[in-house]
Chain A
Amino acid sequence: MRVSPVLLLLAGAAAPVVAQESKPVKTPTVVLVSGPQVGHTAPDFTLAWANKDGVGPADNPYQLWRDRGKTVVLAFYPKDFTSGCTAEMQTFADQYDTLFGPDVIVVGINADSVDTHQRFAAKLGLPFRLLTDPDLKVARTYGSYDSSGRPRRTVFVVAPDGRVHYRNSKFNPMDPKDYSALGAAVREARGS
C-alpha cells in the first residue's frame, strides 16, 4: 500500500460554522491532508454498514477488497441528516443511473451509527450502503478528516484495479460541476 502524504494548505479551515456574525475575520489554520492520491492503491478497510432496508449483519461487514474488479465510489461526508449531506446523498440517489450506472459500488462513510445510517438511508431511499467509521480511522487513512471531528467531505473513485482514479477533497454538494466531474471520473474508471 502506497500512501504518500500530500500537503494541502487550507487557510480558515476549522470546525464547520453554524453561524457567525460581528466577529473578526477568522484566524486561518492549516490542515494537513494526506491519504491515497490518484494512481495509488486504495487502502483496504472493513466497516459495519446499513442501508434503507436495515442494518448489515455483524458477521458480514463491508470490505473494500471484496469489490476488487468493480468501480467503487467512496463518499466521506460529515453527518447524516444535515443539509449539505442530505443534498449530496439525495443527489447520488436521484441521479444514480447517470452518475454511476450499473455494477458501480457506492458507499457513504462517516462516524454515525448504523442505526442512524439506516434511518437516514430509509428517509432518502438511498440505493447504496452507508458505512460506520466510529473513530474515523478510515477517514484519517484516506486524508478525509480535519479538526472538526467529522470526516472532510471527500469523494474517491476506485478503479477495478484497486487504484484511486479520482479524488476530490473539496467536493461541494451544491455545485453541479462537482457532480459532473464525478460522473465523468466514474465513466473513465469503468472503462479503464
Chain B
Amino acid sequence: MRPYLAALLLLGALRVTALAAQDEGPAVGARAPVVQVPDLNGKPVDLGQYLGKRPVFLEWWATWCEQCEALLPRVRAARAEIGDRVAFFGINVAVNQSPERVRRFLEKTEVPYQTLYDQEGVSTRAYAAPATSYVVIVDRDGRIAYTGTGGDQDFLPALRRVAAP
C-alpha cells in the first residue's frame, strides 16, 4: 500500500475533522463560530453576545437572490410566531451588491431580522456558507441545530425546538 493511501485511510478511520468541504456548511451539532459582522453602517455586531446565550437564526442573503426572496415569507411568518425568543440576523454577502443597494432594497421591503453587511466575508468563511439563502439555526447552547439552503426549505420545526422553553 502506498504511504499516502495508508495515511488517507488512517485519517478517515480516526474521523479527523479537517477542512470544511465547499458548498457545504458546518455540521449539525457543531459549535457555531463566534464572529463580528458589521451592520449597514459599518458598526461591528458581535454575534458572541447572542451565541450560547439564546437561540439564533442566521440567513446569508443578497438583494439579487431569488431564492432569498422566495424564502422571505417563511422567515417573516417564523419571526411573527417566534418573536424575540430567537435573535434573527440577515447577513448580506458583499458580493455583487453594495450597502447602498441593500439600503434601497430595505426602503421597499420589510425584512424580519437585523441586517448585517459582511464586507470582508468573515462570517461567510467561518460558516462555510455555500450560497445565498443559507440558513443556520443555533440553539441556546451555541450548537448548530439546522442548516439549509433554498427558497422552500422548512426550517420552522428546528426553530420551534430551539425556541421552546
Contacts and interface: CB of A to CB of B under 8 A. Distances in A.
Asked if chains A and B come from one complex, the reply is: yes
Interface of A: 7-14, 16-32, 78, 82-84, 86-87, 90-91, 94-95, 146, 148, 152-153, 169-179
Given A7-B8, A28-B12, A176 B95 contact: yes
B96 A87 contact: yes
Interface in B57-91: 60, 62, 64-68
Interface string B81-116: 000000000000111100000000000000000000
6 contacts: A18-B148, A20-B147, A21-B157, A83-B133, A87-B65, A176-B94
A26 B147 CA distance: 12
A25 B131 contact: no
Contact of B23 (A30, A78, A177): A78
B118 to A, nearest CB: 9
Main secondary structure on B side of the interface with A = loop
Contact of B18 (A11, A78, A148): A11
Contacts of B150: 18-19, 83
Interface in B131-145: 131-133, 137, 145
Contact of B28 (A7, A8, A25): A25
Contact of A13 (B21, B153, B158): B21
Contact of A175 (B23, B29, B68, B121): B121
B36 interface: no
Contacts of A153: 22-23
Nearest to A147: B21
B65 to A, nearest CB: 6
B141 to A, nearest CB: 14
Interface of B: 4, 8, 11-12, 15-25, 27-30, 60, 62, 64-68, 93-96, 119-121, 124-125, 128-133, 137, 145-150, 153-155, 157-158, 161
Given A12-B17, A19-B154, A83-B149, 20 more contacts: A7-B8, A10-B18, A10-B19, A19-B150, A21-B28, A24-B28, A25-B28, A26-B28, A28-B17, A78-B23, A83-B66, A84-B130, A87-B65, A172-B22, A172-B130, A174-B130, A175-B124, A176-B119, A176-B121, A179-B95
Nearest to A24: B29
Given A27-B15, A174-B60, A174-B131, A87 B21 contact: no
Contacts of A83: 65-68, 131-133, 149-150
B17 A172 contact: no
Contact of B24 (A14, A22, A177): A14
Contacts of B154: 19
A11 B18 CA distance: 5
A100 to B, nearest CB: 15
B124 A174 contact: yes
Contacts of B157: 21
